[in-house]
Structure 1
Amino acid sequence: MRRDTEMTHQRTGRWALAACRCPLWIAVALCSPVAAQRAPPSATVMSIPAGRLDSALRRLAVATGRQVLFDPAVVGARRTRGVRGPVDRDRALRRMLAGSGLAARTLPGGVVIIVAAAPAPKTAWPLPMSVEDEIVVTALKRPTPLVDTEMSIATVSAAEIDARGTYDLRSVARQLPGLVAFNTGPLQQRLAIRGVSGTGEATVGVYFGETPINGPSGTTGDPGAFAPDIDLVDIERIELLKGPQGTLYGASSMGGTLRILPQPVDLARASASVESRVDAVDGGGWGGSIAAVANVPLVDDRLAVRIVAHRRSLGGYIDNDRLGIADTGGLVREGARLRVAWAPVGDVRVEGLYLHQHTRIDDGGAWDPALGRYRDVPATRTPNTDRIDLTSATVHAGIAGMTLTATGSHVRWSLIRQLDYTNVLARQRDSMAGCLRLAGLPVGARCSADQMAVFRAYVDARLPSILYQPTRMRSSNAEVRLASPAGAALTWTIGAFMEHRRDAVASYAAGADAATGLLIQPLDVIGLRTIATGIDQQAVFAEGTYEVVPRLSATLGARHYRYQRRAAGAVPIPNIITGTAGLAEQSYAGRARGSNLKSELAYRVPDGPLFYALISEGYRPGGINVTPNLTDAERFYDADHLWNYEFGMKAARRGWSVEGAVYRIEWRNTIFAASSPNGAFNYNANLTNVGITGAELRSTVTAGPLRLIAAASLSDARLGADTVLGTSEGMGRKGDRLPNVPRIAYLLSAEATLPPPAPGDRLIAGIDVSGNDASPTGFNAGNPYFAHTASRTEVALRAGYEHGSWQVDLNIDNALNAVAPVRLFSSAFGERQLYSARPRTISLRSTVRL
């Protein structure tokens, strides 16, 4: 296994303590990590003299432990009166801003941003739910406004999740052009950013809070095929970090990182909400959901818990004409979370999390477009289930002005995977090798006509069949980071990361009942092979940013890693038909180490846009194929790595924002799927290089009650040379596009705040149009299954009405009832298996907040 490399597009940033005097476009006032123990928010003792407002705001931040963000150009040289004695912190802030023409906005998570006070509108209409220049993110491991974060990052806010009824990764991807989510099987999907998509370890790292979640490896060493799909209940924000990550994130990711950030525990205020929803699928079944959230302080400002419980069902819509079953593909997802936050003293906060989620789908979820809309004729039914249990603990602490963050977590992921195996076995009816195995003849001999007839009868007797794969994954990881005090000319972050992951899968080829299509119980076993794999990974990483001259900063980062792979396989029951006896019981091991780098320059035009240019490196570990009948050369595959070259800009003014980036990615030694000659087994192999050229653009305009968003991404991923490997997608030729990666994706969104029926109410209507162009299903040369997944366009309509603590929302997804293809998949397992968006789905949701 070869040296790997990885990199992140992250930086410690130039966000300063409020006491910082360096000339920044935006200054930040943060609570000093060495401040004294907080007073209760209702009575903070202050001694802030009259004088300049910017200085007073900095003092207020230190005294109250609040994060206060402001633009020096907005605050200017304004002055304020002093605040002394025990004063409520909100009242103190109002007193400081009185008569200044400024206002304070409190954002999710308690961050306060100072903005120019808007004149009273001529109507009583509320403004749209959010503006990009007020979004605060933590991608750089500290709060920064989105428009001043020196990387390509896109977000989905809590308000947007709520308004659109977003609940899974597929619906998130519709809102974030450049993020691709496509099915790899029932309850399975692969994520790709900027066209970086391949088998093996995930190219996109998925975090829930501070915890990275990797999928199981399965039988093909492909954790990337199992992106975790956590139900998006009680989520504060989703951040999509584009480009390699690593110098601020220990669990490196080559294409980018998707961060799902739950709502924080509120130590001071009790709250609760209940949401119920009913769904109707056009031509399909009914569904619905219920979710309850409760935040309960146990000790004021010191200890609190946040509890979430949810259940969601989605109606099926695919008809199995062979078995006479309608509306298959229904899904049920149930889960619960418990979060605990404890602030024992001063700047120490301890957080604990337990998450449980159990998902079930009653069939495969794909259909054959040649038979008509949402129809299929599989010989079997393949219900799948998965269960995720996550436990984590995180400590945040201030040490001598620095910030220490330490996280430890454990993930258990268990699933029952079922795939229709009928076509794979049926294709072997004329296999001479299979006949020789059944007859006990040596390799090179030939079966007689009678012996071949016996073999064909044996195969027919084993049909229909199912590949039944109980799988479990256990992963423990830990990360510790230490960050310098903000405000210095040189800011830095250093950290260390470790991961210990183990997978085990038992792969049964077993008979199914011809009448019901269900797996026969107890199992009618045709063959069994077992696989156990593991990875131990350690890394140290660091990133530093130095202000070379005012408004020009340079960032350097590095990550050094090492890892060890282990794999073992056995065949307790050989499958005579497909030849699994070719896998001898044996253990394998491999290891590698290396490093990856990042460099960046950023310049802020005075009172103008931010420009940045960066070079970053990404990597994925190589691995071991535990697959029958491979040569020694095919048994191992090397790490792949890439270089990302990027130039971007961001600008914002009141009412509008724009950001864009252009990039070039050089991806070497790409890991991709190969298949055995009989199509029964897949394994990983290294291809030649891939070149990706792309661009991204997003613009938001807010004008009175109207908000418009236009976003688009271009990602043209092509082979840079011929590949001599005949893969499951065919022979690759120079210039071929990578499979399942659209070149163009887009989002057009409009939202209007309408005149409400009563003062104080909120009435909003919106429309989203999202889609992408067609993408190839594989490489073209010599591929009998080559086709294109057609282009996709989806229209979603929404309307919401809020009155006091009550809210009612109407959502119509896929309003035009279009066939919106996600992936067309053909292989020895079956041809023309189309995964698509759900038909028109009408949802009515009611929410009450207490």
Structure 2
Amino acid sequence: MAVFYSSARLRAQKQIENPKRILTMKKPLRHSSNRTPLALACAAALVSGSALAQEFTGLEEVIVTASKRTETLQEIGMSVTAISEREIENMGIDSYLDFAVRIPNLATAFQADGRFDANSPALRGVFGSGDKSSAATTGFYIDDVPITSALQPRVLDLQRIEVLRGPQGSLYGARSMGGTIRLITQQPSLDETYGSFHTTASSVADGDQNYAADGSLNIPLIQDKLGLRVAGYYGSISGVYDRVYDPTWTNYQTGEEVTGTTPAFDDNENVDDEKYWGGQVFMKWMVTEDLSITPKFMYQKIEADGLPFADVDPENMETPRFFDSEEPGEDEWWIASVVVNWSLDAGDITSTTAYYERDTEEFEEEHTFLDFIYGAAVGVPITPIESVLSTTSEYENVSHETRFTSSFDGRWNFTAGIFYADNQFVRGYPPAFQPGANQALNDAIGAPADIVPDDLIFITNQPEDVEELAIFGEVTFDVTDRLSLTAGGRWYDTTVDFESISDGFANGGPSEFSGSQSESGFNPKVMAAFDVTDDLNVYASAGKGFRIGGVNGQLSPTLCGDELDAVGLNPDDLRTYDSDELWSYEAGIKSKLANNRVSLNAAVFFIDWQDSLQVQRLACGFQVDANIGDVESTGFEVEMSAAPIEGLTIQLGFGYTETEVADAAGDGFPGYLKGDELHGIPDWTGTGSVEYVFPAFDSWDARLRADGNYYGESTSFNNGTVVDREAWEAINLRAGLMNETWDLTLFVDNAADERANLADNRSIAAEMPGRPRIVTNRPRTVGLEARYRF
């Protein structure tokens, strides 16, 4: 989709940004909603841009590189949402969730442990776990570098965001069976010095102040030969949850509420405070007119004081606890990459080599779950004893891709390449003790039962090494000037080596196992595209997606054995899971209407998913990835952009997804019986924006904008119970003044202060039945931001 830019506005934007930079923007989020109340004043508010307009030229083309070649959004044969740099700024997007809830048919859930490894994006109902890279269903890229889908980088110094729906198995590989999200960064300019500085301050309901600052600078070190671009940022986000003293504990054998003896503590406010900082250094060296080398380094770190989860209800801002235990967390990652591009008469050779490393650590006090286990499962209730559990994850990924993209003058063109990656992932739980637990249990029984030897609750170390080799390509043949056919695919060979060493009460004692999985195969893709007119294109495609198998680790037979026996499952059989695959069929239209004042794009799809891999949360508090059977997903997306008059732009979009277990595995996995829907997938998603830019005074323009999103009903499956999640909607308002140098904006995010259940998170410790930990959106936030360009 495209957005309105007058020719005068474009000239001003080029001066503000960089006349040498390609303006690949012009499209923010497609948006709007469906049947809901959101039709939303959403489509009613106003905002964006910078005007300075005189000549009304309607909608601008949107340039994307989703197919690894430069194309306009209207001619690419797939459903793609592209958000430009200007729209990223105008919408106030600076994090993953800011844009994810505004993409039709993009579901956002947090299915794994904790806050940093839980993000599990899903496109068109193709849902997977976020904590293990091999279990992801949505590819996540920064430029051409694959990263873990659980990562939530700050959305800064970007040229655009691209969201590709449908399996990208031919060009992007194993983890893109549902689609791919790409963050495209700004490139260094070789001939102009320019930069910007941006700062924001705001206040959040139920919390305190937020503030952030970021900036970028581009310097041509050697004119037309060597350019340098640097960017950095720092921010502080106020927490909104308060830890309060709960003087009672539950005897889970009798159901009695017992008054404890732990000393009371004062309310600990905003326990989920967070600070973050990072930056990047980017160089581009034109060795010759045709050969460039572009090294880049990116870094980010987050320090959090506590877990940002609500207890039981998303509107509950208090977390009652028996102990005032600190529950901090850290997430640190960096990427070093080198891109070599050689332009030939016949096309471009592009080679990308990258190293990606990420480390996380999180803490949580777990006595609540242990009290439940001692009382309800073991039958020996004891007075609560403090126990802090921690978890760590370590990622190291080396990747390399070399491809050739042709630019022939004839009817044939193709892209072909080779890809290699070695991804090492280690999930660890350092020794977690509950000092005095074993003695307390012995005293309660009146005998040395030794239920918790050495007071060790849990320890595990689980390294996993995934190695991938792939050869990929796509060939396009122009049958006529209007009809083109594309065929391609990806041959892959994968190996997964794994090991798991665990011990402790929650593990049922010591366990150890190791193994290896290997697979090879081919993912084909075919597409036909037809230009009905110069302004109306239609296409149809079929493609295969694939995901690598992996390892869960040990499930405690002590805690989970009876539950699994009831449904005919063996804990040992769930230590690993097999790969899964799907076929996706899509048809769509791309159109420009009303003399290029309106663009309307739509797509319908059907997905046949074999041996679908899903996260299964058991009533014993543990979770596993398991192949639950065959799943079907059907739905559509519609996206519209309009520039009815000069200065006014309207964006609307909505999507619908229906999933169903068509054939359950075995006797049916708990929570996934035949006819059930997949959990975590909203039925309807909608988004919309209205923006109006008009002259204010002197050289200043005024901007009014409103953005809205709708996220439909969905379900989750926790502790053996299906939980319904209600639909929710939010509206963001922005008003400001701007000229060629300054951009000043007053904003209100989540203006109606909607408190939504985004996902039922298991946090870090195993979840106690009846106390889900809920991931919520941010409460109403009011603030002011300023941007200065030079």
In the TM superposition, 1:601-620 aligns within 5 A as 601-620=528-547
Structure whose CA Rg is larger: 1
Q: Equivalent residue for 1:197? A: 127
Q: Equivalent residue for 1:665? A: 607
Q: 1:191: how far off?
A: 0.6
Q: Equivalent residue for 1:485? A: 407
Q: Equivalent residue for 1:186? A: 115
Question: Is residue 729 of structure 2 the alignment partner of residue 793 of structure 1?
Answer: yes
Which of 605, 629, 636 is equivalent to 1:695? 636
The aligned amino acid for 1:510 is A
Q: Distance in 2 between matches of 1:767 and 1:128?
A: 25
Does the CA contact (< 8 Å) of 2:174 and 2:547 recur in 1? no
Q: 1:236: how far off?
A: 0.7
Secondary structure of 1:429's aligned partner: helix
Q: 1:513: how far off?
A: 10
Q: Equivalent residue for 1:325? A: 268
Task: Give the share of equivalent positions with the same residue, in percent.
Answer: 24
Structure 1 residues 298, 741: CA separation in 2 closer, same or farther (over 3 Å shift)?
Answer: same
Structure 1 residues 372, 803: CA separation in 2 closer, same or farther (over 3 Å shift)?
Answer: closer
The aligned amino acid for 2:139 is G
Question: Is residue 601 of structure 2 the alignment partner of residue 685 of structure 1?
Answer: no
Q: Equivalent residue for 2:507? A: 579
Q: Equivalent residue for 2:773? A: 833
Secondary structure of 1:142's aligned partner: coil
Which of 377, 392, 406 is equivalent to 2:320? 377
Q: Distance in 2 between matches of 1:386 and 1:843?
A: 26
Q: Distance in 2 between matches of 1:725 and 1:287?
A: 51
Structure 1 residues 594, 287: CA separation in 2 closer, same or farther (over 3 Å shift)?
Answer: same
Structure 1 residues 271, 845: CA separation in 2 closer, same or farther (over 3 Å shift)?
Answer: same
Q: Equivalent residue for 1:776? A: 715
Secondary structure of 1:377's aligned partner: strand
Question: Is residue 237 of structure 2 the alignment partner of residue 308 of structure 1?
Answer: no
Secondary structure of 1:605's aligned partner: strand
Q: Distance in 1 between matches of 2:619 and 2:110?
A: 24
Does the CA contact (< 8 Å) of 1:789 and 1:824 recur in 2? no
Q: Equivalent residue for 1:639? A: 579
Q: Equivalent residue for 2:706? A: 767
Q: Distance in 2 between matches of 1:837 and 1:347?
A: 47
Which of 278, 288, 291 is equivalent to 1:335? 278
Q: Equivalent residue for 1:394? A: 339
Structure 1 residues 128, 469: CA separation in 2 closer, same or farther (over 3 Å shift)?
Answer: farther
In the TM superposition, 1:41-440 aligns within 5 A as 109-110=21-22, 126=53, 133-184=60-111, 185-187=114-116, 188-199=118-129, 201-214=135-148, 227-250=150-173, 252-322=175-245, 324-370=267-313, 373-379=316-322, 380-430=325-375
Q: Equivalent residue for 1:64? A: none
Q: Equivalent residue for 1:118? A: none
Secondary structure of 1:756's aligned partner: strand
- C-alpha distance after superposition, 1:657-690 (max 9, x if no partner): 00000000011101122356733x3222211111
Does the CA contact (< 8 Å) of 1:128 and 1:707 recur in 2? no
Q: Distance in 1 between matches of 2:434 and 2:232?
A: 36
Does the CA contact (< 8 Å) of 2:619 and 2:720 recur in 1? no
Which sits farther off after the overlay, 182-191 or 253-262? 182-191
Q: Distance in 2 between matches of 1:754 and 1:670?
A: 51
Q: 1:355: how far off?
A: 0.5
TM-score of the aligned structures, taking structure 1 as reference length: 0.76
Which sits farther off after the overlay, 826-835 or 762-771? 826-835
Q: Equivalent residue for 1:844? A: 784
Q: Distance in 2 between matches of 1:377 and 1:725?
A: 40
Does the CA contact (< 8 Å) of 1:691 and 1:719 recur in 2? yes
Q: Distance in 2 between matches of 1:112 and 1:740?
A: 33
Q: Distance in 2 between matches of 1:392 and 1:359?
A: 22
Q: Equivalent residue for 1:54? A: none
Q: 1:241: how far off?
A: 0.6
The aligned amino acid for 2:634 is T
Which stretches in structure 1 are left out of the alignment for 5+ residues? 1-93, 95-104, 114-122, 215-223, 435-451, 515-522
For the aligned residue pairs, the C-alpha RMSD in angstroms reads 2.8
Q: Distance in 2 between matches of 1:656 and 1:686?
A: 44
Secondary structure of 2:722's aligned partner: coil
Structure 1 residues 292, 836: CA separation in 2 closer, same or farther (over 3 Å shift)?
Answer: same
Q: 1:128: how far off?
A: 12
Q: Distance in 2 between matches of 1:697 and 1:262?
A: 27
Q: 1:373: how far off?
A: 3.4
Does the CA contact (< 8 Å) of 1:598 and 1:616 recur in 2? yes
- C-alpha distance after superposition, 1:228-267 (max 9, x if no partner): 1111111110000110113223565100010100111111
Does the CA contact (< 8 Å) of 2:51 and 2:693 recur in 1? no
The aligned amino acid for 1:541 is F
Q: Distance in 2 between matches of 1:505 and 1:647?
A: 41
Q: Distance in 2 between matches of 1:815 and 1:513?
A: 47
Q: 1:733: how far off?
A: 2.1
Does the CA contact (< 8 Å) of 2:400 and 2:419 recur in 1? yes
Q: Equivalent residue for 2:566? A: none
Q: Equivalent residue for 1:749? A: 689
Structure 1 residues 735, 250: CA separation in 2 closer, same or farther (over 3 Å shift)?
Answer: closer
Question: Is residue 436 of structure 2 the alignment partner of residue 505 of structure 1?
Answer: no
Q: 1:112: how far off?
A: 9.6
Q: Distance in 1 between matches of 2:435 and 2:746?
A: 42
Higher RCO (CA-CA < 8 Å; seq separation 6+): 2
Does the CA contact (< 8 Å) of 1:132 and 1:146 recur in 2? no
Which stretches in structure 2 are left out of the alignment for 5+ residues? 1-10, 12-16, 26-49, 246-264, 437-453, 558-569
Structure 1 residues 726, 718: CA separation in 2 closer, same or farther (over 3 Å shift)?
Answer: closer
Secondary structure of 1:428's aligned partner: helix
Q: Equivalent residue for 2:680? A: 740
- C-alpha distance after superposition, 1:675-729 (max 9, x if no partner): 56733x32222111111011000111102221111100001112113445776xx
The aligned amino acid for 1:778 is F
Structure 1 residues 372, 708: CA separation in 2 closer, same or farther (over 3 Å shift)?
Answer: closer
Q: 1:755: how far off?
A: 2.9
Q: 1:811: how far off?
A: 1.6
The aligned amino acid for 2:623 is N
Q: Equivalent residue for 1:442? A: none
Does the CA contact (< 8 Å) of 1:464 and 1:511 recur in 2? no
Q: 1:425: how far off?
A: 1.8
Structure 1 residues 314, 472: CA separation in 2 closer, same or farther (over 3 Å shift)?
Answer: same
Q: Distance in 1 between matches of 2:224 and 2:315?
A: 60
The aligned amino acid for 1:538 is L
Structure 1 residues 848, 610: CA separation in 2 closer, same or farther (over 3 Å shift)?
Answer: same
Structure 1 residues 512, 330: CA separation in 2 closer, same or farther (over 3 Å shift)?
Answer: farther
Q: 1:524: how far off?
A: 8.3
Structure 1 residues 592, 378: CA separation in 2 closer, same or farther (over 3 Å shift)?
Answer: farther
